[in-house]
Chain A
């Protein structure tokens, strides 16, 4: 009996291991929307469907939220699917849910301002949807190849978003700058991945855990593990005991034996961290972000600042806290240094800045600095506080950017000026007192004044760094955050107490958008008194020891 050698590999993706239903839904609906709109607008030139389309895409993302919420059992099963390249755990679940929810809010918030910005073509919204798809895949990626492809999917869409206003030179310039820095950082990501592959022979995160983190989780003795475990796991241990097998995974690593040679891993990790830090615009690598945020259309820079940062941090948490903790002594200090440097640059750079979007870019650099200090501390609490900080950052980013986007000046030369300066919001108190109050609340929250939620994550990050004994870091960043408070307060001063006789007039805002904004602003105040709601989101993002070993054993 001769069987042909060229028979296919036995790889079947079962329905029970198909854990990417939300992404699948979003990609199919994006393609469907593309086809339908092309059919609708085939012969009709200049049909304006941007408002309906943005609400439709918000609906798609809310449905994806529901899908994620509904698939809790599958998505939080602590397993790996698609041949180890998709991770299903709580961190993925929460971050995917938050990204979908906030992007849906984002679509609602920008829907009425697209016409004023002259971004009415449907490709703009569709590209944002596909970029969100890339962000979702980045959260759940379980190997370096999937991570690279999803970073490329999201960031190629972002370059297009930055350059979308073809008639403006600033927009084209910012798109080109973003593209060049992004290409350099992608190249470094690939170089780092190849170095890691050279040393370990694998690109999968779970292989990194088994190779390099062996001594981290093999320290837990079996009797400690048997107490609270899943029944599935009990069965496995019973089988091990029945067959008298030596379950090698819990065996403590012998003391003093030579560990792995980390030299190549460290260089590769340095390159990967470098490229990811370029993507989130931290202080030595931040120079592109100022020009890009200022030059690109306001709704695009809204997306860059508010939505895209979370998933890159999820990838950083996976690499730094899950896969390569053992080699952390060589690089975790650099995270803290870069964090303090970005707080420094963000605080002092914004002092003399009068353009609003550049000011918010500096504010974003400062916030990324706090997040990096938490990431460099690398304790479990610090990682949880990092996640807390990012959620609050996204909420307050949505508030600030949407208010800036929705302030439409009543001028005669309509739409000639796209970027806003501090003078444009002078005496907002007189023309729109509610919006002025909301804006000042948001600014107080970002500055970290106590009765608002922005105070809590900052304080917890400082406390978690204090537990590890980084006193100088805390003193420096606290002093620098006081300096950063200056320009937040100055915005409030401009809004309320500017010594002018004539203010500017603005168009009113739609009702459903005001409902959304006021609920977001209310959450800034409410969450301070009831932070348990957010704690419910992030308390379980790190795996308990039993989960880690479970994670290494079962592969769908």
Chain B
């Protein structure tokens, strides 16, 4: 078969080919310094897919705002989203690929304790700045920390301090239903500490495997402990199903339901009936915009980009991480890692919920923690799902001390 090029198009062909040859070397030379690349490994597939999708939307918003404001003297930022499938091995592989193949300047991401530690392992060895946006206590500890490691999300320690001090009273009986992995264990440890501090009594804990679909067999045992408060130290679908079934067993009549992290997405997925009366912690609820100017600005910007939906708690952490990172880039006047690390560590920022800064010993973001309760009915606005019971201002007093974490 002969390949036929229509003659009247031949000139165009030639011109295009020539143009691309001429343009190519310039493009190659410009790419590494031209754009500031931020890698975002998040679990797009798997049980936290809905949360991960909102993390992407939020990170993109921060990138867009940076670019619309002119970037870093004309240099634009670009987001490279990767799916870590909620698997530590996959997360490490994606992080490595982002660094070696895509030559990203920075990495932001993860939505579980284990994936963030896997990514952090890769980034600190290669001296790449990484901001984690998921809860973990371990990442603050000296064993996992590095100069390049930052933690923008809340950690279980500060979450349990805020929620525990709001709920626990002297002499109360506390029981735990705990997901048997790092997240659950860290929450139990935090709540147990608060209970001791306020004089409440921990009467028992039952551990369930991750991803269980039926909790009925745990419930009679928990009821028999006769607690005043039951704490559900689990997350996502586990949290929704266990709270739903405990409610079905009539346990709300005799005890208060508490969960360390009451997420916007879980509340929407399970509905008002399931979460009625449940109290928990949160990094953010869009409803604080009435009293917080930066929240108002952030929500307005998010709505403009995404229609009528509201930003979720875990999603907005991604916004804040990318936003503050790019602020640090501007402050450093450079995208060079060492300079940006110094700038970010020194940054005082208010991206979406009030003042925040990174503590120098462990790069944990010191920030406010919200204690929220679920609204019993979906009101006029279906997004109006929580009432803010208390905003606990950020302070290092809520964190474990640098010495306790093993930092010198």
Are A and B associated in one complex?
A: no
Query: Which residues of B are interface residues toward A (Cβ below 8 A)?
Result: none
Query: Which residues of A are interface residues toward B (Cβ below 8 A)?
Result: none
